Amino acid sequence: MATLHLSAQIWREDDAYVAHCPELRVTSEGDTFEHAQQMLREAVELMLADMTPDEVARRWQPTAWTGPLEVTVPEPLGGFHAA
């Protein structure tokens, strides 16, 4: 077995946590942050188990950069504070 290092983006959406792997364009969800992370790991592992290297290469979308983004907003939104 080999280890592949991928990215995971996890956020809360209504009553669930959504987990997304941008490199392979796979999304899953769970009841908690940890559950969503585990469900994403399982979804990626199951998908990769059934794919050939050529299929993985066609699906692969490398993430070039993930980081903060500062934007200017209209004054009414200036009082909004993300949790």
At residue 78, the pLDDT reads 63
CA 29 from centre of chain = 10
- What are the boundaries of each domain within the chain? 9-65
Rounded average pLDDT per 10-residue block, the chain, 83 residues? 90 96 95 98 95 92 79 71 62
At residue 15, the pLDDT reads 95
Evaluate whether 43 touches 28 at the Cβ level (below 8 Å): yes
At residue 18, the pLDDT reads 98
At residue 25, the pLDDT reads 92
At residue 83, the pLDDT reads 57
Q: Which residues fall within 8 angstroms of residue 8, CB to CB, at 6 or more apart?
A: 19, 20, 21, 37, 40
At residue 68, the pLDDT reads 85
